[in-house]
Structure 1
Amino acid sequence: MTYAGVFSFVQSLFITNVEAQDVVYHNSQTIPLLAASISPDPDADKGGPEVSFDETGMFIVAETGLFSLLPGEYVSATGKEENVYIVRPGDTLSHIAELFNVKSETIRWRNDLGAKEYIRAGQDLKIPPADGVYHKIKKGDTLGGIAKAYKAETSAIKTFNGVVDASGLQVGKEIFIPGGKSSVAVKTQTSSSSQKSTYVKVLSSVPSQISSDKLGEWMWPVNGGVVTQGYGSTSFANRSGYYKGNNHGGVDIGAPRGTAIVAAKDGVVTMSQWYYGYGNLVEIKHDDGTITRYGHNTSNSVKKGQRVVQGQVIAKLGSTGRVTGPHVHFEIRDANGKQMEDNVFYQTYLNY
């Protein structure tokens, strides 16, 4: 038997339950060549997304490009629960609504978004378990009255919330009105001329892991927190292979999501955007020429070109970008943008 004959025989062993006319046979001369698989992701061989839990037990999914979910406050009697979705770069409200099988208006109502208000990467969005609205129970409320106000079915409200009559309604508690229509139109944004001035919050001091006498002119960049990884050849850098030359270029300070991140010195914001593995990043150029970076923020509170002072809240701590849990990645660079190793943060936590 020739090689081509052997190939045809082996091929026939794997073809079952198909009509002869649907099968295209090839011999060793006519078989198509297989194209090499090219992955656009240089880190594709590192396995699936990293999963961890923060200090409050919240579920963190890093670098999925799909869902980043946290548990919401509402769970229906039917077991359906509200989620908090962390907006990813490129997301649109209609796409998110489609993912969760709800209408865009439902998400707008729940998050009090203006009709022309855009969502942004790193923003938390509450996603109701179904189309509808929430109602906070007031004294004297009845199921029938609530249903009428929102043009909904009383029976659906009972089933979804596990209540039989008005005695099951607790003043101050939210219930979900499935299919309900908001009685208040979604707000529209006011013109810039009528908007109030931006509120700036400045912290005069924050809990620090480095004593104030050693910090000198610097300020600890987080309102508390614990260093989870230092600068340089750290144990995580060496075993993970995440960083060029197995060198971690900064200090990671872990804290609960939403913790205030503050400017370490006075300066001007040179960047406030999503920036590759940093996720939401704020970069500040200080008056002495040094540059600081604050990465992985849930949201940024400042804009490019804005003047900030030491201790001013510039962002909320989070887990956007390439992360294994909520923290701020803090860097200090010189005027040329190169890592400035001779600083109290890097030296205190060198190879830590």
Structure 2
Amino acid sequence: MTRSIGHVAALAAAMLVVGCASRPTSAPVIDRGAAPASKSATQAGLAAGTHVVQRGETLYSIALEHGVDYRDLARWNGLGDGTHIRVGQALRLGPPGATQAAAPPPQGVEVGSAPRAAGGVESRPLDAGAIAAHGQGDGSTKTSPKALRLPYSKENLAMLSERRAPTTPAAAAPSAPSTPAQPTATAPPTSATPPGELSFTWPAKGKLLNGFSEPNNKGVDIAGKPGDPVVAAAPGRVMYTGTGIRGYGKLIVIKHEDGFNSVYAHNRAILVKEGQSVTRGQPIAELGASDSNQPKLHFEIRKSGKPVDPMKYLPPPS
């Protein structure tokens, strides 16, 4: 009797092991600890189109740094005819309709989902359809016994032989003959300065005192005598005249094509008005020493508001 009970217990244990082995794979663990990034992405997009006023800045200096007309800057921000701004004020750098697109959230983050604690995990069971689709055809999951014993008969032998017969692979479709690659036409090399691009000329005649060295010197300094002519380096429209930017003295800013602006500082006298069109080589000012320790012209070329080395755009000095 004791031996029979032992056999029954062993048989039950074996059946339990087989049942555990046939269970499907455990559900995957999905990390949901990362918080959504949509809010920060929107803030980054907004910051790209605004400027927060810092101490010492003026509407004119902000307009110069971003390559826009100070009158447009005032209009976009509802300042009317005034130019008064305050520290910490956020200024729009484009028309109200020009909004910056927010960056898309990284993959795996659900936009708008409730934030979870950092490092939290969520476990979800797979549904029956997903399990069947995962195990179908790859032979990795066994859902039937490894061997099936059938009584010998001609019918069973024929059935087993039919199951074990290898399937004939489908004949591969004939591949199209490869076509030799045609040589591609190579475009002729272009020059560093495309034809028709805006060209600049020297705005004053004199010795070069200081070269471009950002952030210390955002342009070049040209020596001269008080009253020497200062000319427009390229055709354009006068965007600003005045003394509203500290360190530049009597200043002229000319707007050109292709996003270029030119800057002429420390003048003794200004000969043009805002909104006036000028031609290359036209006198626009008299060289001076306003807000400077010596007579000189400080000259800058800016591309989209950013200073660039004028020597890359000016002809070799004569």
TM-score tier after normalising by the smaller chain length: 0.3 to 0.5
Which protein is bigger by CA-based radius of gyration? 2
TM-score with structure 2 setting the length: 0.35
By relative contact order (CA 8 Å, sep 6+), the higher-ranking structure is: 2
